[in-house]
Structure 1
Amino acid sequence: MKNNLIGNTYKMETEFLKVKLFFESDDSLEFTVLEGGGLTAPGHAEKVTTTIAEIRPNVYMIAWKEATGATVTHVEDHENGIVYSNATLPDGSFYTMKGTIQPFQE
């Protein structure tokens, strides 16, 4: 089931983390860390398998597991440009972030 995210690139910004998100398909996302805020190195890029659920038009819940074992869940409200992100790192630390999400501009 194709959704409006597929084929698009977005910039997510929280108070300490900035990430470029490219939605390749319904179950594939490539992310690139622009600023890691101490959580990860800038420039780190990875392709992950995703689960995407459309909550309502232009609002999505997206979840994935990274190669390190970190798990991430986003609620992305593209209508209002807001993202809620929860991440659990391999060491068990848990981060809850809120920020903006906008189409990526080179």
Structure 2
Amino acid sequence: MKNKLTGNRYKMDLDVLKTELYFETDESMVFTVIEGGSLTEKDYSERVETTIAEIRPQVYMVAWKEISGATVTHVEDHENGIIYSNATLPDGSFYTMKGTISPVQD
């Protein structure tokens, strides 16, 4: 295991977008949309290949490309429960968002 995210689920809340992130392996994640606002459909789920870099203990940069062509990069600060998300959609629109991230308890 390369990182401490693997095997864990997290709820991400960016106000306009709420998702669950499941890091199934060191190189893949499944995201499921809880609330999509104007950005995407509720209950949409996709498995993506990820690149994960540990910046310091409990802080990770996570990046991926979606089937739609959208690209996403997060800085996830699990120590403080803060997430910074940048997304570029296929139409070229760019979103910079900040919110919270917390573990999902089984």
| Both proteins in one fold, TM over 0.5 | yes
Listed as ranges, the gaps of 5+ residues in structure 2 are: none
Aligned to 1:75: 75
TM-superposed deviation, 1:6: 0.3
Listed as ranges, the gaps of 5+ residues in structure 1 are: none
Q: How far apart, CA to CA, are the structure 2 residues paired with 1:77 and 1:8?
A: 15
| Deviation >2 Å, runs of 4+ | none
- Residue identity over aligned pairs, in percent, reads 71
TM-score, normalised on structure 2?
0.97
Q: How far apart, CA to CA, are the structure 2 residues paired with 1:105 and 1:46?
A: 21
TM-superposed deviation, 1:15: 1.7
TM-score, normalised on structure 1?
0.97
TM-superposed deviation, 1:105: 4.0
Give the length in aligned residue pairs. Answer: 106
Query: One-letter code of the match for 1:5?
Result: L
Aligned to 2:13: 13
